[in-house]
């Protein structure tokens, strides 16, 4: 089913090149391997559509048509939004909806690194907040896939305040006794790490995903030294106590399904 | 005054840091140290005392006045244990029914190996969640530089005050210019574009009050600030807790609402 979906989405002609080993693959080949390089094992970054097909049995999108405006009249932001919409074929950096795996219903959000590096402005904050508010109202768990460069600076203080806004909705969902699972994918940094990415009851990460608060370059400039191998990778976070499970992509659906079921009785 | 001039003014080393406001506003102050997890972060000073006759918990970012102090206080850039100390003191304030005052003045949360190893992102995230439902009034005051997530971690509040020449931004103008235009010398352009002054934030309904500074000494400014905090806290203390928390939630829910 996944193979067919990718075929219909991209066709057989458009190949994708592995950034690690340089080999080229068709989408159907990659889809059979859960978007993992069949040659070297490198994880390809996934779009929300690819992720939703891989994880969900059923999915219905909500708030699909919210789009960003240049509220501060920030230089070149209009053009950036246009380009991002075109190149990523999406309207914003997150997709939200109601989904099912093996009969378990939940609210899902999946961020999109292809849209302005998954940065969070008013629309991303609003969509995720609404997702949590809907989940609280319907008494459903939330599963969130994060990938983001952080707050979207073109929206100034509004983007920063999204961190507080989403965290408020997460807290209300949590206080209602409901489950929130985050899946940290490569890369998750900045304001997203410093808010809802780390607020899950259960935090799962994909192997080798880069997850951190400050960017590596900023840290290197601050401390004036090179960072150690594996710094801010999923395994580093787990070693320091911040990640519950590092799960291989091909087993993610099973693991999420299992955890959801364990919370449904 | 241009936005970047305000940034430079907000950062000026002659401008008082957090401890000044604590010492001038609060009597019988007792400082409490440590996060009871790992260590005591000098970049955040916290404790209890009286605001006139009202017992309060006060938590202030402090960058230090001379070189030795600055090193000890990590130039006012908090580590995860600073935010955890702040949260511990806020929970304590909730237990003993004391309002919380946060003084914000920092270029941002510390960016270092240890900060990442001990969960800087998590520490900030936890404060955002917990402050949203802390069952006691919270007032946050940006007195100088409000630097991104590191400032936000102490500013989920019922009311946000800003001194007239304080700034509050998602990113430093230098950082913004260097990412967007590969040229940190364009910081003044970035400062204008980011709309980070106290008046900007008041117009965006992020700041609830701007405390005037013109033609006043810092002592006078601090005394005026104290009066405003007292008036607001007296009002907030009268509010039923459910209403207080609903209003706090809606404040952030409505910022830049679509």
The rounded distance, in Å, linking the Cα atoms of A161 and A178 is: 24
**Is there a single domain that holds both residue A131 and residue A79?**
yes
B1 pLDDT tier (thresholds 50, 70, 90): confident
User: In chain A, what residues touch B256 (CB-CB under 8 Å)?
Assistant: 71, 122, 155, 158, 161
**Is there a single domain that holds both residue A31 and residue A161?**
no
**Is there a single domain that holds both residue A27 and residue A93?**
no
Cβ distance B113 to A196 less than 8 Å, yes or no, reads no
Residue B258 domain-assigned?
no
pLDDT at B71: 94
A1 pLDDT tier (thresholds 50, 70, 90): very low
- Please tell me which of the candidates A71, A190, A197 has its beta carbon nearest to residue B256: A71
- Phi and psi at B104, nearest 5°, equal -110, 125
**Is there a single domain that holds both residue A142 and residue A242?**
yes
**Is there a single domain that holds both residue A5 and residue A97?**
no
Over residues A137-160, the mean pLDDT reads 97
User: In chain B, what residues touch A161 (CB-CB under 8 Å)?
Assistant: 152, 206, 252, 255-256
Closest Cα of chain B to A261: distance in Å?
A: 26
| CATH code for position B65 | 3.90.226.10
Contact assessment for residue A30 and residue A16, using Cβ atoms and an 8 Å cutoff: yes
Structure tokens at B250: 């809606």
Evaluate the omega torsion of the peptide bond into residue A187 and state whether it is cis, within 30 degrees of 0: yes
Question: Is residue A239's pLDDT more than 50?
Answer: yes
pLDDT at A3: 47
Give the percent of chain B with pLDDT over 90.
Answer: 95
> What's the angle, vertex CA B86, arms to CA B176 and CA A164, rounded to 5?
50
| CATH code for position A99 | 3.90.226.10
Residue B90 domain-assigned?
yes
Supply the range of the domain harboring residue A174.
Answer: 45-262
* Beta strand segments in B1-155, E: 26-32, 44-51, 54-61, 100-106, 138-147
Residue in the structure block whose two tokens are 């580093």: A236
B258 pLDDT tier (thresholds 50, 70, 90): confident
**Is there a single domain that holds both residue A83 and residue A214?**
yes
**Is there a single domain that holds both residue A24 and residue A80?**
no
pLDDT at A65: 94
Closest Cα of chain A to B98: distance in Å?
A: 22
Residue B127 domain-assigned?
yes
Taking only Cα atoms into account, the Rg of chain A, rounded to an integer number of angstroms, comes to 18
Question: Is residue B203's pLDDT more than 60?
Answer: yes
A11 pLDDT tier (thresholds 50, 70, 90): low
Q: Which helix (H) or strand (E) holds B234?
A: helix B218-237
Structure tokens at B69: 């102090």
Domain count, chain A: 2
**Is there a single domain that holds both residue A128 and residue A202?**
yes
A197 pLDDT tier (thresholds 50, 70, 90): very high
- Bridge-based pairing of strands A245-246 and A202-205 is parallel
Question: Is residue A70's pLDDT more than 60?
Answer: yes
User: In chain B, what residues touch A66 (CB-CB under 8 Å)?
Assistant: 258
Contacts of residue A23, Cβ cutoff 8 Å, sequence gap at least 6: A17, A37, A39, A40
pLDDT at A8: 53
DSSP for A126-184 reads HHHHHHHHHHHHHT--EEEEEEE-SB-GGGHHHHHHHHHHHHHHHHHHHHTT--EEEEE
**Is there a single domain that holds both residue A201 and residue A237?**
yes
Domain count, chain B: 1
A28 touches chain B (CB under 8 A): no
The rounded distance, in Å, linking the Cα atoms of B239 and B57 is: 19
Question: Is residue B158's pLDDT more than 70?
Answer: yes
User: Which residues 89-118 of chain A have a CB within 8 Å of chain B?
Assistant: none
pLDDT at B42: 97
**Is there a single domain that holds both residue A16 and residue A68?**
no
Supply the range of the domain harboring residue B126.
Answer: 3-253
- Whether the CA torsion B22, B24, B27, B28 is positive or negative: it is positive
Mutate to test the interface with B, among A150, A157, A202 (most CBs of B within 10 A): A157
- Please tell me which of the candidates A157, A164, A195 has its beta carbon nearest to residue B204: A157
pLDDT at A198: 98
**Is there a single domain that holds both residue A131 and residue A115?**
yes
Over residues B54-69, the mean pLDDT reads 95
Over residues A117-145, the mean pLDDT reads 98
User: In chain A, what residues touch B78 (CB-CB under 8 Å)?
Assistant: none
Question: Is residue B164's pLDDT more than 60?
Answer: yes
Over residues A235-242, the mean pLDDT reads 97
**Is there a single domain that holds both residue A39 and residue A119?**
no
pLDDT at A106: 98
A222 pLDDT tier (thresholds 50, 70, 90): confident
The rounded distance, in Å, linking the Cα atoms of A155 and B256 is: 10
Top-confidence residue, A118 or B183: A118
């Amino acid at each position: 089913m996944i193979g067919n979906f990718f075929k219909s989405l991209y066709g057989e002609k458009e190949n994708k090149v592995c950034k690690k080993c340089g080999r080229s693959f068709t989408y159907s080949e990659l889809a059979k391997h859960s978007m993992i390089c069949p040659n070297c094992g490198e994880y390809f970054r996934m779009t929300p559509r690819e992720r939703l097909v891989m994880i969900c049995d059923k999915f219905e999108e909500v708030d699909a048509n919210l789009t960003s405006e240049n509220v501060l009249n920030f230089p070149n932001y209009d053009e950036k939004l246009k380009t991002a919409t075109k190149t990523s074929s999406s309207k914003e950096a997150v997709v939200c909806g109601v989904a099912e795996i093996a009969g378990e219903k939940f609210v899902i959000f999946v961020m999109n690194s292809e849209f302005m590096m998954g940065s969070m402005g008013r629309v991303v904050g609003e969509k995720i907040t609404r997702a949590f508010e809907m989940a609280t109202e319907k008494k459903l768990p939330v599963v969130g896939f994060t990938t983001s460069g952080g707050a979207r600076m073109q929206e100034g203080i509004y983007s920063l305040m999204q961190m507080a806004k989403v965290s408020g909705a997460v807290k209300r969902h949590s206080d209602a006794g409901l489950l929130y699972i985050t899946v940290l994918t490569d890369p998750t940094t900045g304001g997203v790490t410093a808010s809802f990415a780390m607020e899950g009851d259960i935090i799962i990460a994909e192997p080798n995903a880069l997850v951190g608060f400050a960017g590596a370059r900023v840290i290197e400039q601050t401390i004036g030294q090179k960072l150690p191998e594996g710094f801010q990778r999923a395994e580093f976070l787990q070693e320091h106590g911040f990640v519950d499970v590092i799960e291989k992509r091909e087993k993610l659906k099973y693991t999420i399904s299992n955890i959801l079921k364990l919370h449904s009785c | 005054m241009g936005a970047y001039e305000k940034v430079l003014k907000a950062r000026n080393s002659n401008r008082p840091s957090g401890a000044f406001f604590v010492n001038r506003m609060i009597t019988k102050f007792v400082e409490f140290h440590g996060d009871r997890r790992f260590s005591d972060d000098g970049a955040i000073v916290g404790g209890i005392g009286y605001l006139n006759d009202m017992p309060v918990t006060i938590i202030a970012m402090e960058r230090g006045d001379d070189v030795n102090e600055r090193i000890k206080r990590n130039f006012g850039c908090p580590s995860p244990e600073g935010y955890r100390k702040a949260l511990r003191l806020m929970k304590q304030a909730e237990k003993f029914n004391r309002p919380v005052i946060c003084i914000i003045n920092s270029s941002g949360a510390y960016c270092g190996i240890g900060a990442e190893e001990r969960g800087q992102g998590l520490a900030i995230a936890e404060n955002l969640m917990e402050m949203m439902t802390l069952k006691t009034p919270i007032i946050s005051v940006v007195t100088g530089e409000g630097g991104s997530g590191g400032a936000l971690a102490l500013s989920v509040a019922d009311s946000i005050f800003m001194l007239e020449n304080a700034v509050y931004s998602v990113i430093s103008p230098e950082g913004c210019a260097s990412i967007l235009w590969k040229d940190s010398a364009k910081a003044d352009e970035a400062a204008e574009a980011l709309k980070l002054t106290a008046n900007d934030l008041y117009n965006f309904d992020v700041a609830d009050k701007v405390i005037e500074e013109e033609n006043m000494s810092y002592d006078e400014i601090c005394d005026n600030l104290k009066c405003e905090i007292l008036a607001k806290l007296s009002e907030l203390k009268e509010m039923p807790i459910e209403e207080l928390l609903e209003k706090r939630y809606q404040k952030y829910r409505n910022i830049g609402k679509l």
